[in-house]
Structure 1
Amino acid sequence: MRVSLELVMVGVSDVDRAKRFYAEVLGWGCDHDQRVSDDLRFVQVTPPGSACSIAFGQGITPLRPGDQKGLQAVVDDADAARADLLARGVECTEVDEMAWGRFVFFNDPDGNAWILQQVPARG
């Protein structure tokens, strides 16, 4: 059986602020922004090159803002990813060297915690 993770929910306190952060600051593509009713709005963004998107909005998840910790994406180059985050005005850590990869950590405006991993060369 094939299983493909394609959507992860993220709790946010301000949908427009989150959309600005992910789509404008980070430069992730905004796939959907649909207001279904006064109580339901669905926003979906996708990191460049990713098969998995994130969704946030109003009335779509019981997650509280900042509850998501350890969201992880793989990058080709941790140094370049860090430089890109800094150039976009995003606070992030120095590159953290570990035996299982090189990592950069940052948070969205609500405190949802992201990890960018450069996977070590295999072999």
Structure 2
Amino acid sequence: MNWTLEVVPLPVTDMDRAKEFYANKAGFTVDLDDEVAPGMRIIQMTPPGSRCSLAMIEGMPSAPGMKEMAPGTLQGLQLCVTDIEAARAELTGRGVDVSPVRHVGATGWEDGKGETWNSFMSFEDPDGNGWVVQEAPSELSER
């Protein structure tokens, strides 16, 4: 049986501001923006080429046994790209504050690209949710 990761909840304070950031600055596709029941709104967005989406939910209680996540507490979600410099240029061109490209070296994080699978950058959304972008070889990244 396959266990696919399809949707990740994204905690935000202002859904419209987050939608604008992810759609217009990060380049995600808005799949759904709907009031699914009175007072319950869902915005679902997908990064380009991904099979996993983000969901921002307003007015709906957490699933039984799940704790609420505060805005800004989602950290380290990782996106993979085949050209990290092009991805960085795209994000900065849209006004996203992106870290320099770094890699893990002998003494920790070092500036510049590393070897295969070892080039990273990061950015945050307006609430402080943190993202990592990793360069992955195209022949290995599409699984």
With normalisation by structure 1, the TM-score equals 0.90
Q: Give the deviation of 1:4 after TM superposition.
A: 1.1
Query: Which residue does 2:19 correspond to in 1?
Result: 19
Unaligned runs of 5+ in 2: 63-67, 105-114
Q: Match of 1:42?
A: 42
Deviation at 1:37, TM superposition (A): 4.0
Which of 66, 72, 79 lines up with 2:78 in the alignment? 72
Superposition deviation, residue 88 in structure 1: 0.6
Runs of 4+ aligned structure 1 residues displaced above 4 Å come to none
Offset, 1:64: 1.0
Q: Deviations over 1:77-122 (max 9, x none)?
A: 1111111111010001000123652101000000000000013687
Q: Which residue of 1 aligns with 2:133?
A: 116
* Partner of residue 53, structure 2: 53
Corresponding residue for residue 104 of structure 1? 121
Alignment partners' CA distance in 1, 2:72 and 2:4: 25
Quick one: distance in 2 between partners of 1:108 and 1:118? Answer: 20
Query: Does the CA-based 8 Å contact 2:9-2:57 persist in structure 1?
Result: no
Matched, 1:92 2:109: no
1:43 is matched by which residue type in structure 2?
I
Alpha-carbon separation, structure 2, partners of 1:57 and 1:38: 13
Give the total of aligned pairs: 122
* Alpha-carbon offset, residue 33 of structure 1: 0.5
CA RMSD in angstroms comes to: 1.8
- After TM superposition, the score normalised by the length of structure 2 is 0.78
Matched, 1:8 2:12: no
Question: Separation in 1 of the partners of 2:82 and 2:103?
Answer: 14
- Bigger radius of gyration among the two: 2
CA shift digits 1:23-72 (9 cap, x unpaired): 12222100000113453110000011000000113134521110100011
**Stretch of structure 1 that moved more, 105-114 or 62-71:** 62-71
